Structure 1
Amino acid sequence: MKQSLDIIGATDIVDLPDLGWYDVPVRIDSGATTSAIHCSRVRLIKEGDKPQLCFYLDTKKGAPQQSFTVTDFKETIVRNSSGKEEKRYVIKTKITIFGKKIRTEFSLANRRKMRYPILLGRKLLKKRFLVDVSQKDLSAIKRSKASHRSHARHQP
C-alpha cells in the first residue's frame, strides 16, 4: 500500500528537539540535495583518538545560546547557492514536522544573510512530502489547529 504524502509549502516552522531549538522558520528547497542549518564558530577539535565538531546555532532566530559538540559527523563537498563548491561538515539530528520526528542530515552552513536559518532539501522531502509553493507553514497551521482543538476539549 502506498503511503500518502503530506503537502508542504514553500516555508514552514519546525522543532529540533535534540538541539533544544523550537519554532524554527525553515525554507523548503527542492533544488538542494541536503538540508542546511545556519551555524557559526564551527571548529574541529582533535583531542584524543576521536575528533569532535563544535558549533553554535542562530540565537537571533531563537536557538539556545550555547555551543554544541558532536562526534557523529562527516565532511562533504557541497555546491553552494552561488554554484561554488565548498567543504562543509554534516551532522545528523532529529527534526519534528507534521508531528513526525525524522532523523536527517544537515550541512553546517553560513546562512547569516539568508532570511531562514534552515533549508530543507530533497533528501528529507523525498517520499515524505509533496511541495506546493503556493502554500506556507502548513505543519505549523496543522499543529496550531490540533493544539486549539485539544485545548477546547479541556474547557469546562
Structure 2
Amino acid sequence: MKMTIGRIDKADFPEFVLSGIDVKIDSGAYTSTIHCSNIQEMSAKGESVLQFTLLDPEHPFYNNKQFTSKNYTSKKVKSSNGIAEVRFMIQTEIFIFNKNFPIYLTLSERKEMKFPILLGRKFLNKKFVIDTLKINLSHKLKNI
C-alpha cells in the first residue's frame, strides 16, 4: 500500500541530527539531493573518505559540523537546466511518516534554492503517491 505524500513536507535525518527539515517532493528529479558545502574527497589512513558540511550559515539548521562518509560513490546528474555534472552520492536514512527509510542523496550546492532537500523518483517509487494539493502530511502525522 502506497502512502500519500504532498508536494512539500518535513523529514528527519538522524545521522545528521536534522529534525523537521523542509523537503520538496520532486517527481521530475530521478535522484534525491541535499544541500551541502565544502565537499571534499580526502584520504585518511589510506582510505578515501568524503567530507562535507550540511547546509550553509544562512540556513537556520546550520551547525558548522563536518560530516565524513566512507560509503559514497559519484554519479552523473542532469540538472533541471539540462547541464550534467558529476556529484558525490551517499547513503543514509530518512525518517518520514514515522518510519526510517534508506535513501541515497547526492551532495549539491543548493544555496539559492528554497528547499535544502529534494526527494526524487528513485526514493518515492513504489512507496508514495504524490498529491500536489497537500503539504506536510508526514509532519502532521508525527505530531499526533
**Shorter-chain TM band:** over 0.9
Aligned-pair RMSD on alpha carbons? 1.1
Structure 2-normalised TM-score?
A: 0.95
Matched, 1:36 2:36: no
The structure that has the greater radius of gyration is: 1
Q: CA deviation at 1:103?
A: 1.0
Q: Percent identity?
A: 35
Q: Provide the residue aligned with 1:27 in structure 2.
A: 24
Corresponding residue SS for 1:140: helix
Query: Which of 42, 45, 49 is matched with 2:46 structurally?
Result: 49
Instruction: Note the alpha carbon deviations across 1:102-133, whole angstroms, 9 max, x for none.
Output: 01100001111100000000111011100011
Matched, 1:99 2:98: yes
Q: Counting helix residues as a fraction of each chain, which structure ranks higher?
A: 1
Unaligned segments of structure 2, at least 5 residues? none
Q: Provide the residue aligned with 2:131 in structure 1.
A: 132
Aligned length: 142
Structure 1-normalised TM-score?
A: 0.87
In 1, Cα distance between the equivalents of 2:30 and 2:19?
A: 24
Say if 1:6 and 1:61 are closer, same or farther in 2 by CA, change over 3 A. Answer: farther
Q: CA deviation at 1:64?
A: 3.3
Unaligned segments of structure 1, at least 5 residues? 147-156
